[in-house]
Amino acid sequence: MGVNWREWGNPNGQPLIFLHGFLGDCTDWEGIAPAFSEYRCVAPDLPGHGETPLSETMGWDQLPIELTRDLNAKGINHAVVIGYSMGGRIALHWAHQDPNFVQGIILESASPGIDTEIERRARHLFDLQVEKQLGTLPPLEFIDWWCELPMFGDIKIHPDYPALREKRSRFLPEDMRRVMRDFGAATRPSVWPVLGQLPIIGFVTGSLDLKYKTVAHRIQTEFPNIPVEILENAAHNCHFEAPDRFSRVVLQFLRAVPDLG
């Protein structure tokens, strides 16, 4: 498949794997990179994003195998995975499929899944709407439409939004339609029933993202041993909107588990 990777930090440090979200790439983490200089940080371009092409055979089950194989070749045999949105869904599936590699998960605005058939049908209809917009709107207009979704809060008035908008627009519409079909939230069974068995060491989202704030509260209620942080005046993309606070929270999650590594 030829996954493109980016590395930073201490090559001898505890490995952290950063998985970006839909329309992102491995450079999305540059704003928080200095905070994690003590760790060996590795981030891929997920299929169809950045410099990693889509593959006809690459789906939910094959992707973790490819990621683990590449990381093993880099001398990394276990790691904590930090996943944002779509990247968080992939992290959960990776941990379920390969528990020997994934020793910890930190979720940023990522859902463990869809519980009911009604919700699954609603999500499928939303995904079809996204596919339609991808095939209709020019890339920059699509990014504006996407970032107007309620979960993104006021991201469009962020001073760095123009640069984010331009970077996010460098996609191939047909690739993104396939990503929606192959990696959308409606395509996988819910992991809520087994969430307590997965090595989740933290969940973070923003107070302005009401959807994932609800997910955070459910985790707090059903899985009180999982640390949860809700960042005030941030929305879905915490690492972009509040990089310093996001970094402090993630470091807090990591340092609360002394036997990692």
- At 1, the pLDDT band (50, 70, 90 cuts) reads low
Please compute the mean of the pLDDT values over residues 235-258 and round it to a whole number. Answer: 96
d(CA 191, CA 37): 32
Given the structure tokens 């891929």, which residue do they identify? 44
Q: Domain limits of the chain?
A: 5-113+188-255
| Host H or E run for residue 178 | helix 173-183
Per residue in 189-245, pLDDT (tens digit) is: 999 999 999 999 999 999 999 999 999 999 999 999 999 999 999 999 999 999 999
Per residue in 71-80, pLDDT (tens digit) is: 999 999 999 9
Classify domain 5-113+188-255 at the CATH class level. alpha beta
- Which parts of 116-160 fold into alpha helices (H)? 117-136, 139-147
Distance, CA of 133 to chain centre: 22
Whole-model pTM?
0.97
Looking at the chain, the whole-number percentage of residues with pLDDT higher than 90 is: 90
d(CA 78, CA 195): 20
Query: Which DSSP symbol is given to 232?
Result: T
Asked whether 230 and 205 are in contact (CB, 8 A), the reply is: yes
Per residue in 80-118, pLDDT (tens digit) is: 999 999 999 999 999 999 999 999 999 999 999 999 999
